[in-house]
Amino acid sequence: MKIAVDERGYYGNFGGAYIPEMLYPNVEELRQNYLSILNDEGFRKDFDHLLKTYVGRPTPLYFAKRLSERYQAKIYLKREDLCHTGAHKVNNTIGQILLAKRLNKKNIIAETGAGQHGVATATVCALMGMECIVYMGEIDMERQKPNVERMRILGTEVRPATSGSKTLKDATNEAMRHWINNPVDTHYIIGSVVGPHPYPDMVARFQSVISEEIKWQLKETEGLESPDYVIACVGGGSNAAGAFYHYYENDDVKLIAVEAAGLGNETGKSAATTTLGKPGVLHGSRTLLMQTKDGQVVEPYSISAGLDYPGIGPVQAHLFESGRAKFYSATDEEAMKAGILLSRLEGIIPAIETAHALAALEKMTFSKDDVVVLNLSGRGDKDLETYIKWGRY
C-alpha cells in the first residue's frame, strides 16, 4: 500500500497544516525547503556522519534468543535504546538542528513530555552551540526531575507550561505560542510525527534510518530484507514511523502499532487514541484525537509519560484507518510486566513506552518461523523510579 504524504500535506484523510496565520511564514519556509535540504548531498553527509560518530549508529539488530523461545518466533530487537541519550528521539533532533542551521536559525525551541525529546534537543543544541528553550508541563517537570536537570546541565532553559493540564499537550501549546511571538530566527524542533505539514513527513524521514538499517541487517542474518512483523509502540508515533517507513509498500510485512491503554480503555484512564479518539484538529493537523463530544481535547492517561498524548500523528491515523497497520493497546499492568520480563530474559531494561510494544507479544500468535522485529525505542534508566514504585520484580 502506498503510504506517503500528498502535495497538500495529507495522508489520506489526515494531516494538513491547521495553523494560525502568524505561523504561516515559518511553516511555509520549512515546507518549501525541507525536501531540497534533506536531499542535499552535503546535508546527507553531515547527518550520516553525526549519526555514526555521535549517536552511535547503526544500532544493533539483536536476536533475542530467550524471548524468541518464550514466544515461539524469531524475535529481533532493534536497539534504539543504545542511541546516545537513550532513545530514538536523537535521530530527529540531529536532523532538525542541521536543517535549522541551513535555514540560518539562531534559536531553538522544543516541547517535551517525559523529557526524552527535551534532552535530545538540549544535547544537539549544546553540540551546535545554539540557544535552546524547552517547554515542559509543570506536572511533568515534577514527575521527571532528572531529565529537567539533564537539560539544564546541557545549558538549556526549561520553561514550565503552567496552562491547561500542565502536561505534554500544554507544553506543545506553549512552544507554539513562543514561536508565534518569535517568528524570526527561531526553529521549533517538534519531537514526533505530529504538528502541521511538513513536520510529520520530515520527522518520519529522519527516523526512517531505523528501518533502513533493519533491512540490511536482517539481510545479513536472515538472508531477507523483510520480516513478517514489525512491532512498535505509538504515542505520537515517531519510532513506529521510523521502523515502518521502508516497509509501508511491502504488504507482506505486517505492521503492529501498540498504544497505551493506561488503566484500561473502558476506565477513561487511557491514552489509546485509535480506540477512544475521533477525527479532530490539534497542534496543526487533522488526526485522530481524544476529545469530548463538544470537541474539547481530553487529557489522556498512561503510566508512560512518553505515550501520554491525546492524539497520534496523521500517518498513524491513516495507517489505522486504511488497515495497513494493526493497532493493539496495552495497559500499565501489561506493559510493566513485559518490561520486567525483558529485563529478566535478555538483560535489557526497556523504557516503559517500549514495554508497551513488548506487551503485544503476549497478545499475538506466531508461527515458529515468523521473523519479528520489535523496535526497542528507548532504555529504562529514566524510568527507574516508576519501576521502583511498581515494585513487583
Partner 1 sequence: MPVILTKNRIEQLFEEKKENILSVYFTAGFPKLEDTAKIVKYLENSGADIIEVGIPFSDPVADGPTIQESNKTALDNGISLKLIFEQLSDIRKEVKIPLILMGYINPVLQYGVEAFCKKCVEIGVDGFILPDLPLQEYLDEYKTIFERYGLLNIFLITPQTSDARIRRIDNNSRGFIYMVSLAGTTGAKGDISEDQVNYFKRVKKMNLNNPALIGFGISNKLTFNRACAHASGAIIGSAFINVLKNSKNLEKDISGFIKSVKGIQ
Q: Which CB atom, from 240 or from 289, has the smaller least distance to partner 1?
A: 289
Mask of contacts with partner 1, 148-187, x by CB under 8 A? ---------------xx----xx--x--xx--xxxxx---
Query: Does the protein bind partner 1 through residue 297 (CB under 8 A)?
Result: yes
- Unique residue bearing C-alpha cell 527507574: 384
* Least distance from partner 1 to the Cβ atom of residue 137, Å: 13
Active site residue 192: no
- Catalytic residue from among 89, 105, 169, 382: 89
Residue 163 known to be catalytic: no
Using rule CB under 8 A, residue 190 touches partner 1: no
Closest approach of partner 1 to the CB of residue 181, in Å: 5
Q: Find the catalytic residue in 80, 166, 377, 382.
A: 377
Among 12, 13, 18, 56, binds partner 1 (CB under 8 A): 18
Q: Which is nearer to partner 1, 289 or 358 (CB)?
A: 289
Is residue 89 annotated as a catalytic residue, yes or no? Answer: yes
Task: Choose, by CB under 8 A, the member of 289, 317, 352, 359 that binds partner 1.
Answer: 289
- Active-site option among 80, 105, 111, 329: 111
Q: Between residues 128 and 281, which has the closer beta carbon with respect to partner 1?
A: 281
Nearer to partner 1, 237 or 311 (CB): 311
The piece of 16-24, 60-68, 217-225, 239-247 that touches partner 1 (CB under 8 A) is: 16-24
One residue of 1, 4, 22, 224 binding partner 1 per CB under 8 A: 22
Q: Which is nearer to partner 1, 25 or 42 (CB)?
A: 25
Where do contacts with partner 1 occur on this chain (CB under 8 A)?
A: 8, 16-22, 24-25, 163-164, 169-170, 173, 176-177, 180-184, 278-284, 289, 291, 293-297
> What is the set of active-site residues?
89, 111, 377
